[in-house]
Amino acid sequence: MKILTIIGARPQFIKAATVSRVIANNDNITEIIVHTGQHFDSNMSDVFFKEMGIPEPDYHLGIGGGNHGNQTGKMLIGIEEVLLKENPDLVLVYGDTNSTLAGALAACKLHIPIAHVEAGLRSFNKRMPEEINRILTDGVSDVLFTPTETANKNLSAEGVEEKRINLVGDVMYDAALYYGDFAELKSSILNEYELISKDFVLCTIHRAENTDDLNRLSDIFKNLEKVATKHRLILPLHPRTKAALENLKFNVLASNIVFVDPLGYIDMVMLEKHAKLIITDSGGVQKEAYFHKVPCITLRDETEWIELVQHGYNKLIKNFDTLLIEVEYSLKDVVFDNQMLYGNGDAADKIIEKLSSKM
């Protein structure tokens, strides 16, 4: 059985690492990895392959930057050429990026079966490009691997046939378990920045809805400065956010905000595990905070991971002026229990078992 895996963005490298590791132990499956190049910065891409043990891509399309249509179109052309050459039995796509959609469309047009990992997520906000990508990918995929019961319900409400839906849990939880201990052994990030465990707040800002609206971005950073008057704040700076701040000509005054370059996954896991609180607009980081039992505040109007909000582990913030108040509340009142919201950490095994039985 030949599986062609399509990845291109940082979260997909993490997800694919868990499944590729299982595939590597299966003598009946050959995996061809295609990297679209959607994350083209070496800090956002190359370091992940090295430190996570992901096999080097068989194909690197080198398609990065550009508007959504331009980028997705180029990916569609490049992926189609690879599919025609490799003729795989199945195309495996992850998440909700332009790489995901391009891979699914290319395979669909060539009548190659598609499996979508992390299917069924919905923010119900079609202004988000990710929402469009995930809806369309789910629509053309033959096998839908969902992380939660909520995702199953979303698909059922859209009329998706039950036989296409497979609840397996979240591959990101697989990664958190596998790499959590590894980070403790390999990462020196705490020493590098003289950080004390549970004595700093970790922050990530990168989503287009926050960085492309300069008024919104300015509002976010003004309130992050307020948080930094009371808590040391570590902020790995995404290239998009850095460019937006330069365009805004916003000078961050708080000396307690420490900007760092984009980090590899191992260092990021280490910061997540040892932060006392996480402020983010990332979907993946929201879950990783939960996996490591760290309270999270999300700077978005909605989230795909509604279970975290419903159980009180995550707080959505629409009015950024309340950020400092919500930080103090979360640090004091959020309590974690032993619920397993995202499976048992064996999602990758279930995915490969299901695919092997279908082919």
Other CB atoms within a 10 A radius of the CB of residue 138 amount to 26
Alpha-carbon distance of 290 to 342, in angstroms, equals 10
**SS3 of 219, please?**
helix
- The amino acid at 238: H
Of 309, 324, 306, the C-alpha closest to 120 is 306
Alpha-carbon distance of 56 to 110, in angstroms, equals 26
DSSP class of residue 195 equals: P
Residue 313's H or E segment, with its range, is none
Alpha-carbon distance of 213 to 216, in angstroms, equals 5
Residue 259's H or E segment, with its range, is strand 257-260
Alpha-carbon distance of 236 to 204, in angstroms, equals 6
Edge-to-edge strand order for the sheet containing 277-280? 257-260, 233-236, 201-204, 277-280, 296-298, 314-316
The three-point CA angle 239-313-18 to 5° equals 60
Q: Are 240 and 206 in contact (CB under 8 A)?
A: yes
> Catalytic: 116?
no
Q: Which of 35, 39, 116, 206 is catalytic?
A: 206
Residue 144's H or E segment, with its range, is strand 143-146
Alpha carbon separation from 56 to 68, 76, 105, 189, 330 (Å, rounded): 26, 21, 24, 25, 41
The phi-psi region of residue 296 (left if phi > 0; otherwise alpha if psi is between -120 and 50; otherwise beta) is: beta
Active site residues: 206
